[in-house]
Copies of this chain bind each other. A is one copy, B any other.
Amino acid sequence: MAISSTARHDAIAAAARLFDRQGYHGTGLAQILAESGAPRGSFYFHFPGGKAQLGVEAVHAAAAEVESLMRATAEKHPSPAEMVVSLAQALGRWLERADYSEGCAVAAVTVGTGDNVALRAACRDAYAGWQELVRAQFVAGGVEVSRAGALSTLAISALEGAVILCRAQRCTEPLDQVAVELADLLAAVSLGQ
């Protein structure tokens, strides 16, 4: 009765997509099962904690996907300014492909699940992971260690917020504007520029 690891992955991906489109509380288990094609019995075999467990795994999956994007971007663009611009462009393409109906599943779960300790912890860890990754990349790119943490928080907050503005405005202009200003700032504070 066990669903395959592909089906398990499909359930997590469907959950992340639906939470992102209509919120965690607005998404029922029946809809997740229908979208992922998993039968209910095997679902509880893989997710004994039900929807809350699936929520945590969906946040982990979304966090890992963004982390991969960040690592790939940093490898291609070691300069902090160029990294942030490339990241913003990738997020803009993602929004366009989803016709602005999906953004960041971590933000979608954070907003509206404050009462669930496990979900909130998953979101907290997701942001902490991104912040540390970007901070380390900024330091490697010449930003002063004492300031890299705050600049990393600024970059992630600004990109996260801009994704929401883009969804409301159905265009990538907020991300484009944020990228230009962040790049300017990062170029100025990176040593040797």
With contact pairs A168-B123, A169-B124, A177-B153 given, residues A107 and B111 touching in the complex (Cβ less than 8 Å) = yes
A161 contacts partner chain B, Cβ-Cβ < 8 Å:
yes
- Chain A residues close to B by CB (< 8 Å): 20-27, 99-103, 106-108, 110-115, 120, 123-124, 126-128, 147, 149-151, 153-154, 156-162, 164-165, 167-170, 173-174, 177-178, 180-182, 185
Closest to A160 in B: B161
Given contacts A26-B26, A161-B159, contact A153 B178 (CB under 8 A): yes
Instruction: Report the minimal beta-carbon distance from A149 to chain B, rounded to whole angstroms.
Output: 7
Within the assembled complex, what's the spacing in Å between the Cα atoms of A154 and B84?
Answer: 13
Residue of B nearest to A114 (CB): B101
Task: Give A113 to B177 CA distance when docked, in angstroms.
Answer: 24
Give min CB distance, A103 to chain B, whole Å. 6
A21-B112, A21-B114, A27-B25 given; A160·B165 CB < 8 A: yes
Q: Hey, which chain B residues are within 8 Å of A27, CB to CB?
A: 25
CA–CA, A147 to B181, complex, Å? 9
Complex alpha-carbon distance, A153 and B169, angstroms: 12
**Contact A23 B24, beta carbon cutoff 8 Å:** yes
Distance in angstroms between the alpha carbons of A169 and B160 in the assembled complex: 15
Q: Which residues of B contact A21 (CB under 8 A)?
A: 112, 114-115
Is A157 a contact of B168 with CB atoms below 8 Å? no
